[in-house]
Amino acid sequence: MSVSYSQVTDWVSAFAVAVAENKEYLTELDSAIGDADHGINMNRGMQAVVGKLGASTADDQTDIGALLKTVGMTLVSTVGGAGGPLYGTLFLQMGASAAGKPELSPQDWADALAAGVAGVQKRGKAERGDKTMLDALMPAVDKLQDALASGASFDDAVQASATAAQEGMTATIPLVAHKGRASYLGERSANHQDPGATSSWLLLRAAADTFSGNGAD
């Protein structure tokens, strides 16, 4: 059981679809505690990614790392805001971790995701509990690693990881933001779900949907 090049492409595409579908929702969440652009930004970036992947005529689909780096670079240069460098870094670091690999073992996938999330943390200097995308990403990585370590199937592991992301996302609601635009709100940022954590949950859910069940082989 492993993740193929085309499955990674499928995952990215599924994320793009999810972002497009939730564009208004993400922007709505951002307008409550930020500047009303998260959905617009992410959608602009993911549409560019889809365009890029569609246009790429590389027959040689052997380097998942290169693929992820392209995604990262595209996001960096099209998203802007905080989301651009953060999601860009996530994919760039995942790409570095997966460099040269034509397919990813479950552990490769977990390592890549962990590297990506570590990159986000390093770039944004946020901690868990700061009410950011890390509140969805970090539990997702932990759960993925734990599940694999305890011998769970890849299917179960990616599902558990998405569920952890969702729980992390929901847990941002009561939190007071300490990073990003929402931090300027202080106490008033509580009772609102973080938009970045929400898009991160969409990312992990897309992975679960793509890699588990008849998605993964």
The number of residues that bind Mg ion (CB under 5 A) is 6
194 binding Mg ion? (CB under 5 A): no
Measured in whole angstroms, the distance separating CA 171 from the mean position of its chain's CA atoms is: 17
Token couple for 22 = 């939730």
Residue 208 corresponds to which amino acid?
Answer: A
76 binding another protein? (CB under 8 A): yes
Residue choice 35, 54, 122, 174 for contact with Mg ion (CB under 5 A): 35
Work out how close the CB of 87 gets to Mg ion at its nearest, in angstroms, rounded to a whole number.
Answer: 13
Work out how close the CB of 180 gets to ligand ADP at its nearest, in angstroms, rounded to a whole number.
Answer: 3
The number of residues that bind another protein (CB under 8 A) is 34
Measured from the Cβ of residue 135, the count of other Cβ atoms closer than 10 Å reads 27
Kindly tell me the sign of the dihedral angle through the C-alpha atoms of 32, 35, 36, 37. Answer: negative
Nearest alpha carbon to residue 80 among 49, 41, 130: 41
Give the contact letters, 18-57, x = binds to another protein (CB under 8 A), - = no. Answer: ---------x---x-xxxxx--xx--x-------------
Q: Which is nearer to ligand ADP, 36 or 152 (CB)?
A: 36
Token couple for 179 = 């990073």
81 binding Mg ion? (CB under 5 A): yes
Kindly tell me the sign of the dihedral angle through the C-alpha atoms of 139, 26, 129, 86. Answer: positive
Residues lying near Mg ion in the complex (CB under 5 A) are found at: 30, 34-35, 37-38, 81
